[in-house]
Amino acid sequence: MVDRGILEHVDVTADRSFSFEAHPANTTTEHLQILFDLGFRRLSLGIQDFDPLVQFMINRQQTFEEVEAVMLNAREIGFESINFDLIYGLPKQTQASVQDTIEKSMLLKPDRISFYSYAHVPWLKPGQRHYTEADLPKGTAKLALYNLGKKLILAQGYADIGMDHFAKKRMNFIWPSKRNACTEILWGMRIGLTPINWDWCVLNQRCLGWFCTKCKNS
């Protein structure tokens, strides 16, 4: 596995924190157990929206029950933090669908929520040509989706920790404004991912062929 290959050539500290992003529709208990055994304790689920029409438009379909099953399995295995990736501004999305998505998310009680703005880049992601700009909420309509989602999330006891991210207030989160020094670095293994520390950030290569070749030769 890629992770074992990486870990063979680095010093792993006792306080390391490994996380990964998963698709709820194809993440099995076996996947979760293997990654847990490798030291992963944090999980992010790419949900986007629970509305069936919105999911159809973006070709990202998973049921509430599938997400719930992954969460229950992850909790039972021992994962310490679960994040939901939600997106506003998706095609055919409405205030009603955003509210339904947030309310269903609250039933599952994720530790963190990322509430991102949708980026329409069909020249980079051909799958986005399944719909047109006419299907997208724009301007004040899109802002209203964000304001509604944020209001609902904050009302459930989450704290706004910046950059469209929210966390349960009980979580052991390190606030940058309270830090005097920091040596932590966030590294990611995925095309287009952005590894970051407190002084800089970089963007992984988006070309899959180039990325795979570099991984094999490194």
CATH of the domain at 10: 3.30.750.200
Instruction: Using the predicted structure, report yes or no on whether residue 198 has a pLDDT greater than 50.
Output: no
User: pLDDT by residue (tens digit) across 126-170?
Assistant: 665 677 888 899 999 999 999 999 999 999 999 998 888 999 876
Mean pLDDT, the chain, integer: 81
pLDDT confidence of residue 133: 83
Q: Are residues 202 and 130 in the same domain?
A: no
Q: Are residues 162 and 202 in the same domain?
A: no
Q: Are residues 69 and 154 in the same domain?
A: yes
Contact 19, 40 (CB under 8 A): yes
Q: In three state form, how does the secondary structure of the chain look?
A: CHHHHHHCCCCCCCCCCEEEEECCCCCCHHHHHHHHHCCEEEEEEEEECCCHHHHHHHCCCCCHHHHHHHHHHHHHHCCCEEEEEEEECCCCCCHHHHHHHHHHHHHHCCCEEEEEECCCCCCCCHHHHHCCHHHCCCHHHHHHHHHHHHHHHHHCCEEEEECCEEEECCCCCCCHHHCCCCCCEECCCCCCCCCEECCCECCCCCCHHHHHHHHHHC
Q: Which residue has the higher pLDDT, 215 or 181?
A: 215
Q: Are residues 208 and 155 in the same domain?
A: no
pTM for the predicted model, two decimal places: 0.75
Domain count, the chain: 2
Q: Are residues 86 and 149 in the same domain?
A: yes
User: pLDDT by residue (tens digit) across 58-100?
Assistant: 888 899 999 999 999 999 999 999 999 999 999 999 999 999 9
Q: Are residues 7 and 57 in the same domain?
A: yes
Domain that holds residue 75: 2-173
Q: Are residues 67 and 138 in the same domain?
A: yes
Tell me the C-alpha distance between 67 and 55, whole Å: 14
Q: Are residues 90 and 191 in the same domain?
A: no
Question: For residue 77, what are its two tokens?
Answer: 């295995």
Q: Are residues 155 and 187 in the same domain?
A: no
pLDDT confidence of residue 183: 41
pLDDT confidence of residue 214: 66
Question: For residue 209, what are its two tokens?
Answer: 């062929």
Q: Are residues 161 and 195 in the same domain?
A: no
Beta bridge partners of 160: 166
Mean pLDDT of 20-28: 91
Q: Are residues 137 and 203 in the same domain?
A: no
Tell me the C-alpha distance between 71 and 108, whole Å: 8
pLDDT confidence of residue 172: 55
Q: At residue 164, what is the residue type?
A: D
Distance set, CA 216 to CA 2, 158, 189, 206, 210 (Å): 9, 41, 13, 16, 10
Q: Of all residues in the chain, what percent carry a pLDDT higher than 70?
A: 71
Q: Are residues 141 and 214 in the same domain?
A: no
